[in-house]
Amino acid sequence: MSGLAGVTAGSSAICTCGLGNGLNYRGYDIADLALKADFEEVAYLLLVGELPNKHELKMFQRKIIAGRELPISVKNVLKSIPASSHPMDVMKTATSALGCVEPEAEDFSDQMDKITRLLGAFPSFLVYWHHWHKNGKEIDLASDEQTIAGYIVERLKEKTPLAVEVKAMNAMLTLYAEHEFNASTFANRITASTLSDIYSCMTTGIGTLKGHLHGGANEVAIKFVLGFDNVDHALKSVDELFARKEKIMGFGHRVYREVDPRSPVGFDLAAELKELETSDPKLFDIAKAIRDKVKAEKGLPDNIDFFGGLIYHYMEIERLYYTPLFIMSRAAGWAAHAFEQRANNRIIRPSSEYTGPEPRDFVALEDR
């Protein structure tokens, strides 16, 4: 079947989506997790199978915080990557570099330590490269910020984040953390099925996520919204797109037909952030009007990427960094799937339907 749509490619105890129960991580509803738990709790849940108690969470957070510092060799790699490079390539290269310096054990006995280290290191890869090439300085990766969400905002912007910014970033990390056998996760599981190391699994996921049909939809969605002066301008343009039968990014979903269960959370977060002094509330009105029109006239619900792009825009995060933020979130899901695959493994090797020529005789070069 084209794109493997409708094909069951394996079993997993990590996540359910589109099965009548919305989106659940290990049985917990996504809205509860996004609004009531820190991302570290969610990452632990995905990796271990249960929510942590206070002591377990404290130990987990300490290891993540310790993982923020980078070896000199990895910093040198980040310095050597051109400023013109795509940030996704920066993340992929830095992950490979760290894997060379701190390889995973052959028997995977330290797999939890390695992914915990990476959860700390992923934000550092981006902020170190950003400040070296964009601001011409070597940033101190140490911070008093306890959460990954707070650390990302604080180190990128070099100022104490607002509570609403930490809340929004924390929720976004949770909303994007896991989504069953999506393209990058399935690619990651294929790599894991060869019994490759966790760094290779992560770089496989990053490379797949970089594709425009997987990650990056929120970048396109916010660019679309920013192109309009007002609601009337936006609605007129949407009519023109409808007439040309063109697609609007941020709407519809391969799995969710009625509603993306992450979208209501994203909508509410954007509504909160539009009240910031630095925000333009008009953009929220434009986005809401587009959402309502597309739903009413085409029956397509918005997905998390539509208001997700607006959330990051209101937080003044560079657009090309939206998908690297996706990595910092989805890494927990990728690793959970890699662990699950390697624990009960059979190499993933599907068959294909051959559509080429029938068997034929070889023709010597002089007779062709």
Residues serving a catalytic function are 214, 253, 305
Buried b (16+ CB within 10 A) or exposed e, 115-132: bbbbbbbbbbbbbbbbbb
* DSSP string of 54-84, one letter each residue: HHHHHHHHHHHHHTTS--HHHHHHHHHS-TT
Q: Answer whether 334's CB lies under 8 Å from 188's CB.
A: yes
Tallying the residues shown for the chain, one arrives at 368
* Ordered strands of the 28-29 beta sheet: 15-17, 23-25, 28-29
Q: Answer whether 65's CB lies under 8 Å from 145's CB.
A: no
* DSSP string of 162-213, one letter each residue: PHHHHHHHHHHHHHTS--SS-HHHHHHHHHHHTT--HHHHHHHHHHHHTSTT
